[in-house]
A and B are shown apart, each in its own frame.
Chain A
């Protein structure tokens, strides 16, 4: 499951490109697809990431697993899993809002996004502080 940087970049790049093309076509009213279909590259990409994360977390259960730094790694993986679920929740509510399936405020749609951004900022801030202290 260890992919090189180029492979991971290519994966991200392809899905971003397809999503952007579909988004532009939808916004310019060239296609009349549902918003859930427009977000298909996002769902696929998230599914791949979730699968990779679950496989890595399940790797802890193997008999030959080396438990050194295990707690730290597990915490990190758990945060990644929560982040993925928050992103999925945001995209799902956004699609439901755009399709007018739910009558909710934009603030309610944005709550998972804010939680995700705050979490990411805390992690990045810790990294900045950590490196400075070193």
Chain B
């Protein structure tokens, strides 16, 4: 819409298949959130860690995919590109994972997690936004 798919792939540094994977995980996650909120505890006992599992799985699969792509790029002699791609994707995925784990912990242990304020939970996303802006300047 605002960006073409090619621009998005260039900017975010993820392959189209990885974007597809993350969208799928988001879809399953939203279904699980709706089930968790709507059904009472007797009908369906599901912890927040299970609700967040599609997102964790997508992160894991994306890391695996990136590792394979980077190894193949390295074997084909594109060493610099392989290392840069691996570093970028791992940085983005780890920031995303930290945010997800903190949010999940906050939701799962609401009584014990008073010190975990939302500013702290979202802070990896703020760092990610700065990194994305820097990358956009480079891509441009």
Using a CB–CB cutoff of 8 Å, the interface residues on chain A facing chain B are 4-6, 8-13, 16-17, 20, 23-24, 27-28, 49, 52-53, 80, 83-84, 105-107, 109-110, 113-114, 117-118, 120-121, 124-125, 127-128, 131
Is residue B67 within 8 Å, beta carbon to beta carbon, of the partner chain? no
As a 0/1 sequence over residues 129 to 140 of chain B, the CB contacts with chain A under 8 angstroms (1 = contact) are 100110011011
In the bound complex, do residue B30 and residue A6 qualify as a contact, i.e. CB atoms below 8 Å apart? no
Residue among A10, A28, A131 with the highest chain B CB neighbour number at 10 A = A28
* A10→B26 CA distance, assembly (Å): 25
Binds A, one of B12-20, B69-77, B82-90: B12-20
Name the CB-closest residue of A to B7.
Answer: A5
In the bound complex, do residue B133 and residue A9 qualify as a contact, i.e. CB atoms below 8 Å apart? yes
* A53→B122 CA distance, assembly (Å): 31
* A105→B38 CA distance, assembly (Å): 6
* A10→B132 CA distance, assembly (Å): 10
In the bound complex, do residue A8 and residue B3 qualify as a contact, i.e. CB atoms below 8 Å apart? yes
In the bound complex, residues from chain B placing their C-beta under 8 Å from that of A23 are: 118, 122
Q: A6-B136, A9-B136, A24-B122 are in contact. Are A117 and B30 (CB under 8 A)?
A: yes
Nearest CB in chain B: distance from A13 CB, A: 5
Is residue B44 within 8 Å, beta carbon to beta carbon, of the partner chain? no
